[in-house]
Amino acid sequence: MSLHYLVTGGAGYIGSHLVLALVGAQHQATVLDDFSTGHRWATEGHEVIEVDIRDLAALRSALLHRHFDGVFHFAAKSLVGESGQKPLLYYQNNVTGTANLLEVALENDWRHCVFSSTAAVYGSPQSAVIAEEHPLNPVNVYGETKLAMEQLLSAVHKQGAMHAVCLRYFNAAGAAPDAHRGEWHEPETHLIPNVLRKAAGEARPLTIFGDDYDTPDGTCIRDYIHVLDLAQAHLKAMAMLHREGGFHTLNLGSEAGYSVREILRACETTVGQPITHDIGPRRQGDPPRLVADAGRAGQILGWRATRGLREIVDSAWLWEQERQRLQAR
């Protein structure tokens, strides 16, 4: 059965891949975005509603009398450093914007929401492998706002008004295999795209922050998950809500950790050349290891990550070459 979904932030990295997955599953997607960070080219061929979710009146007007079978909510500011510099922007956009969206959703009787959350809600890890029962103690404003967004959804669910799944991502990476979607942030803060931008010839420093951690090669270990695996988890989460309802918080990760040096070597193998880099001091607050326990997602959704590091890096490199061409136009 073909259903129609609203995808907030559908012009962004993960949201645009979710739109592709919806179309691939024979569903219809309408993108809602303010294009403050998203890309218009990522929405071509889809209905687009351009509105700022902080503006309740404009949001209500844009969505008046619209029917959607559910909402995938990606729209959020997401830069950790910026969140500390602009806390009001992050609370207004992420928390107030989500409250506005939920208000309009309930007015229009949309009762199912899959929310893009983050492992940043856990804060400093108390264990090397993190399950959903880990204490919630975010250490930056970004994580605080994502946790507040989860709490809003939980409160609305307790009213009996909405069913929701909060998906806590670890490190999203990779790109669509045909290289027409991928990661493009300015500034770019993620490791794999920054390594590949350096490999593509951009005159930017590439720094490994700390090589003296208590890990096998001295560099931090993180859990990387392919964006296509993330998209499939969203589809499964929404299908589960239609079947069973409820409120769930689920980790999404590969349950495999890769060090910074392992990522660098994988990128060098893909591009076929060494990638110059520097070693810098540790960044404050960087734990040695962050890996997901994604067992609950397996039990509840029947989902697991299927794409490994090689597929992540190869697809990201194809996309980076395409991104360079788009940037040069």
How confident is the model over 64-75, as a mean pLDDT?
A: 96
Q: Are 320 and 182 in contact (CB under 8 A)?
A: yes
User: Tokens in use for 42?
Assistant: 């990522």
Whether residue 179 is predicted with pLDDT greater than 70 in this model: the reply is no
- Record the pTM: 0.94
* CATH class assigned to 191-223+255-328: alpha beta
Using CA atoms, how far residue 316 sits from 10, 127, 193, 199, in Å, is 19, 30, 7, 12
Note if 142 is an active site residue.
yes
Tell me phi and psi for residue 118, to 5 degrees.
-155, 155
Q: What confidence tier does 284 reach under pLDDT thresholds 50, 70, 90?
A: confident
Integer Cα distance of 45 and 50 in angstroms: 15
**pLDDT tens-digit series, residues 311-327:** 999 999 999 999 888 88
How confident is the model over 284-290, as a mean pLDDT?
A: 83
How confident is the model over 30-56, as a mean pLDDT?
A: 94
- What was the pLDDT predicted at 124? 86
How confident is the model over 235-249, as a mean pLDDT?
A: 97
Q: Are 140 and 82 in contact (CB under 8 A)?
A: no
- The domain limits of the chain are 4-172+224-252, 191-223+255-328
Integer Cα distance of 234 and 167 in angstroms: 8
How confident is the model over 234-253, as a mean pLDDT?
A: 97
Integer Cα distance of 72 and 33 in angstroms: 12
Residue 277 bridge partners (DSSP): none
Using CA atoms, how far residue 305 sits from 61, 222, 311, in Å, is 39, 15, 12
Residue 172 bridge partners (DSSP): 225
Percentage of the chain exceeding pLDDT 90: 83
Q: What value does the CA radius of gyration of the chain take, rounded to a whole number of Å?
A: 19
Q: DSSP assignment, residue 229?
A: H
Average pLDDT in the chain? 94
Catalytic residue among 90, 142, 169, 258: 142
How confident is the model over 192-215, as a mean pLDDT?
A: 91
Percentage of the chain exceeding pLDDT 70: 100
How confident is the model over 118-143, as a mean pLDDT?
A: 93
For residue 246, which of 102, 67, 113 has the smallest C-alpha distance?
113
Whether residue 100 is predicted with pLDDT greater than 80 in this model: the reply is yes
Q: Which of these CATH numbers, 2.60.40.1220, 3.40.50.10800, 3.40.50.2300, 3.40.50.720, describes 4-172+224-252?
A: 3.40.50.720
Whether residue 178 is predicted with pLDDT greater than 90 in this model: the reply is no
- In total, the chain counts a number of residues equal to 329
How confident is the model over 80-88, as a mean pLDDT?
A: 92
Strand order in the sheet with 70-73: 47-50, 28-33, 4-8, 70-73, 112-118, 163-169, 247-252
Whether residue 4 is predicted with pLDDT greater than 90 in this model: the reply is yes
- What was the pLDDT predicted at 89? 96
Tell me phi and psi for residue 83, to 5 degrees.
-60, -35
User: Tokens in use for 112?
Assistant: 């199912």
User: Tokens in use for 11?
Assistant: 């012009």
How confident is the model over 184-209, as a mean pLDDT?
A: 89
Q: Are 120 and 170 in contact (CB under 8 A)?
A: no
Q: What is the chain's percent helix, strand, coil content, to nearest 5?
A: 40, 20, 40
- What was the pLDDT predicted at 283? 82
For residue 260, which of 140, 171, 324, 186 has the smallest C-alpha distance?
171
Integer Cα distance of 308 and 95 in angstroms: 34
Whether residue 54 is predicted with pLDDT greater than 70 in this model: the reply is yes
